[in-house]
Amino acid sequence: MKTFSQVILAACLTASISLVACAKQKTVEAEKPAVASTFLPTALDSSGAGAEPNPPSIDADRAMKYVKEVVAFGPRPVGSPAHKKLEDYIYAQLKGDTVEDDAFVADTPAGKFPVRNIIAKYPGTRDGIIVIAGHYDTNYPLRDTGYVGANDGGSTTAILLELANHLRGKKQDGYSVWLVWTDGEEAIQQWGPTDSLYGTRHLAERWDKDGTLKKIKAFLLTDMIGDADLNIDKDANSTASLLSVVYQAATRLGYQSHFFARTIGVEDDHLPFMKLGVPCADLIDLDYGYNNVFHHTPQDTIDKLSPKSLQIVGSVILETIRMLDAMKP
């Protein structure tokens, strides 16, 4: 009897594509060898070159360097000295940029904690804002276990810093892009509506009051996007039409095999904005290790990550921005 993996191996050899790439594929892709063989060569190109003449990309090695530096601060839960050091580190990287914060004191089951969302603004020529967000705090209950959140907190902090390098110093030919390092995403005791998403609940309310929400054309959230085995889930709690643009962007770059093989509903930093009518897409890989075993454990370390995954997600975000900019209002 042939095992499932043997069937896949046979299919891979037939299609003359590498075993490494096949190992990443799930049944959905295995059933579509024609599509896979057409796009895989470009997906494996380290430059990120695909069907586009000038595909947008980020410096993945520099993004990985940021992850290393962020993780070196140690556990970074709200209220910790390392969290404060990380705030200062983010500000230092954004020197010269237009940066605002949304700072407040959150009331949590473990007492009051300072929470600070950090917002960097890169103006565009077109009326409207695209927000790219990701959290920088790490899990609170695991704070004394040596947990460093390389993927959950680290990868997103880093990819936003690298996107800032990409956006800096030139007027965006389209919508303004705002990068938001969200804070207090993690639960303090037990995940629930009042114990989680402290930063984004505050920011969504603030932007609702001051009129900013109406200008947001898309809210793209990143979370746990550094896993070397990158499988971005299709989030049932996101806006379908925006997910469709993301998938088109991924397909144009030849990265679609890393996107949306599985549909799940995710509770994440986009929810407070979704509830207020902002189009949102959560780009999250909740298959971190077999059965997600590395998630929220001290195993969430940098050796599980790959610069290639950061590059894929960074490129797809930039291509998504380009496609949204090209759309009619």
User: Helix, strand or coil for residue 47?
Assistant: coil
183 touches Zn ion by CB under 5 A: no
233 touches Zn ion by CB under 5 A: no
Q: Please identify, using beta-carbon distances, which residue of 40 and 280 lies nearer to Zn ion.
A: 280
269 touches Zn ion by CB under 5 A: no
227 touches Zn ion by CB under 5 A: no
Query: DSSP string covering 191-245, please?
Result: -BTTBS-HHHHHHHHHHHHTT-GGGEEEEEEEES--BSS--EEEETTS-HHHHHH
268 touches Zn ion by CB under 5 A: no
* CA–CA dist 158, 88 (Å, integer): 14
In the complex, the smallest distance separating the C-beta of residue 11 from Zn ion, rounded to whole angstroms, is 35
Q: Please identify, using beta-carbon distances, which residue of 37 and 292 lies nearer to Zn ion.
A: 292
Determine the residue type at 263: T
Binding piece for Zn ion, criterion CB under 5 A, among 27-35, 47-55, 150-158, 272-280 = 150-158
* Residues 78-137 interacting with Zn ion (rule: CB under 5 A): none
Taking CA atoms, 165 is separated from 37, 50, 66, 85, 160, in Å, by: 33, 22, 12, 21, 9
* CA–CA dist 121, 139 (Å, integer): 27
282 touches Zn ion by CB under 5 A: no
285 touches Zn ion by CB under 5 A: no
Tokens 């291509």 belong to: 319
Give the one residue of 29, 102, 137, 152 binding Zn ion; rule: CB under 5 A. 152
Taking CA atoms, 22 is separated from 7, 171, 224, in Å, by: 11, 40, 22
Total site size for Zn ion, rule CB under 5 A: 1
29 touches Zn ion by CB under 5 A: no
> Which residues of this protein are in contact with Zn ion, per CB under 5 A?
152
